[in-house]
Chains A and B, each alone.
Chain A
Amino acid sequence: MSKLSVEHLLGIKYLTEEDIQLIFETADQFKEVINRPIKKVPSLRDITIANLFFENSTRTKLSFELAEKRLSADVINFSASQSSVKKGETLIDTVNNILSMKVDIVVMRHPNVGAGIFLSKHVDAKIINAGDGTHEHPTQALLDSYSIREKLGSVKGKNVVIVGDILHSRVALSNIYALKLQGANVKVCGPTTLIPKYITSLGVGVETDIRKALEWCDVANVLRVQNERMDVKYFPSTREYSQLFGINKELLDSIGKEIVIMHPGPINRGVEITSDVADSDSSIILNQVENGVAIRMAVIYLLAQQIKR
């Protein structure tokens, strides 16, 4: 197979295992490219991509932009705050205005769940979901799995624990779909208030003791505490969260086994993870950032192949 089974990247839920393998194999080639002295390929020089960010983002936006530029695509950027564009209001107008500039691919981050799906039903362009509310963040999950594959050889059969705020995390949901699809064993660990009740229906185990979770896992993907998404208090204090669910060197040393540490960033150092862990040899956090560019290049490239010219 050399073609994705989907026309847009709206979520991991819609991908097959073969799609993921194809994305990884394509990313392998692009990773080699971005480590060359000349990091650019002419693959998409007749393609125009619009990055529409209706929610704040620095890292994802930069990563997409770099991936697009490495592929020689023409890039336009649009940012709007949540307050000025709410729900469907002006979204189609905004996008149609941009599409009238003959845009082929739209990369969109939006605060509402399903915004990418909505857009894909209304506009004639490939849509890449760069995060839709608390629903999915597919490229983050792809780069996370890709980083595990790179570090441990494969994802299949590995024990992966996702630690932290599962309830508000699109990264957690996309990771669960991606990891399960590739045959990993997945647990989530965090305060019960931050673990949604439906999570076990996804074939995921729940652990509320961080030590037990770490003893079980090969990989710990530690999520950021997203205070901005919490309209009520889900745990008594940051200090207590850190004591109960924070990962520090002392804890890891006491477990005495090699655990790969991941974090989608940005890190609240000293809250969910301490600096000595984030910067340790076990951490692949910076590899995740590098792999993010290769994975996004792969996704964009594969979707662009479907565009009839």
Chain B
Amino acid sequence: MKLEQKNNNLVITIDSTNTLDSPALQTALQEYSEQSVILLISSNELSEKESEFLVNLTKQRKANGTSFVVVTTDITADEAPEGLNIVPTLLEAEDVIQMENIERELGF
């Protein structure tokens, strides 16, 4: 797992040696709880448990005034679970975060 800071966002790359329930990911998410997170994954499908985990994470971050976006080229936005932001590139993830920041600034 790799952690990077990019444009005030935390970018987490999950490689093949990590899973979404790894303690390292949990620790990172807690440590950077006040930052928007971009999670890069290379999974071609999400289990029900993983989907639920990611959707809950999105809700928690949203409630906390931050954003959570998953980047993968293997799952399209139409295949993504309801309530989860999935985009194919890092640039588009940053766009989503910027749009959600504007929404928050407008009081929504």
Contacts and interface: CB of A to CB of B under 8 A. Distances in A.
Interface of A: 83, 86-92, 112-115, 117-118, 121, 133-135, 198
B77 A89 contact: yes
Contact of B108 (A83, A88, A89, A135): A135
Interface in B10-25: none
Given A87-B100, A91-B95, A134-B108, 9 more contacts: A83-B77, A87-B85, A87-B87, A87-B96, A88-B87, A89-B96, A114-B108, A133-B108, A135-B106
The prevalent SS among residues of A at the interface is: loop
21 contacts: A83-B77, A83-B78, A86-B77, A87-B96, A88-B92, A88-B96, A88-B98, A88-B99, A89-B77, A89-B88, A89-B92, A89-B95, A89-B96, A91-B95, A114-B108, A115-B99, A118-B95, A118-B98, A133-B108, A135-B108, A198-B107
B92 A118 contact: no
B103 interface: yes
A83 B87 CA distance: 13
B46 interface: no
A83 B98 CA distance: 20
Nearest to A119: B99
Interface residues of B, number: 18
B28 interface: no
B1 interface: no
B77 to A, nearest CB: 5
B107 A118 contact: no
Given A87-B85, A88-B98, A114 B92 contact: no
**Residue picked from A88, A92, A115, A133, most chain B C-beta under 10 Å:** A88
A125 B77 CA distance: 28
B99 to A, nearest CB: 5
Contacts of B107: 198
Which 5 residue pairs of A and B lie closest in terms of their CB atoms, listed nearest first? A88-B95, A114-B102, A113-B103, A88-B96, A113-B108
